[in-house]
């Protein structure tokens, strides 16, 4: 084993297992791996060890992102679930961008400058 192989092996042994890292720590280490791989002075054996570590870090980060997306999906309310809640509660809750029927039938009046009282000291022409 030459010096470069020994250095790469020592570096790999000093790193904690990927599965023990938080998403943020894994992402930061992945950024460091990319920077080291872009360095023209990184030797072949070290680059291969970095590449393998980078692949493991990327897979870990992706699995954490997939898990977070799945949790958000489970927490999100579907339009069917919203209809059930509305029917049971009598509330006119509506998803973003949808105008509740009650608002469409009786919209709030638009205000005009004449409806707004003048502040003290304002000159009205």
Angle at 61 between CA 55 and CA 63, to 5 degrees: 100
> Which helix H or strand E contains 70, and what residues bound it?
helix 44-75
Three-point CA angle 77, 82, 88, nearest 5° = 135
CB atoms within 10 A of CB 14: 7
Residue 86 has a pLDDT of 78
Please give the pLDDT value at position 88. 80
Q: What is the pLDDT of residues 31-65, one digit of tens each?
A: 999 999 999 999 999 999 999 999 999 999 999 99
> The whole model's pTM is what?
0.55
* Number of alpha carbons in the 13 Å side-chain half-sphere of residue 27: 8
Structure confidence at residue 36 (pLDDT): 95
Place of tokens 């009282």: 117
Mean pLDDT of the chain: 78
Provide the residue count of the chain.
125
| Tally of CB atoms within 10 A around 54 | 18
């Amino acid at each position: 084993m030459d010096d470069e192989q020994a250095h790469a092996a020592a570096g790999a042994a000093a790193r904690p297992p990927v599965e023990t890292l938080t998403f943020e720590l894994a992402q930061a280490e992945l950024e460091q791996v990319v920077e080291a791989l872009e360095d023209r002075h990184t030797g072949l054996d070290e680059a291969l060890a970095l590449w393998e570590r980078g692949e493991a870090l990327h897979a870990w980060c992706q699995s954490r992102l997939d898990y977070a997306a799945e949790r958000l999906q489970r927490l999100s309310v579907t339009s069917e679930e919203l209809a059930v809640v509305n029917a049971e509660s009598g509330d006119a809750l509506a998803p973003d961008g949808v105008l509740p029927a009650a608002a469409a039938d009786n919209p709030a009046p638009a205000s005009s400058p004449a409806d707004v009282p003048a502040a003290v000291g304002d000159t009205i022409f």
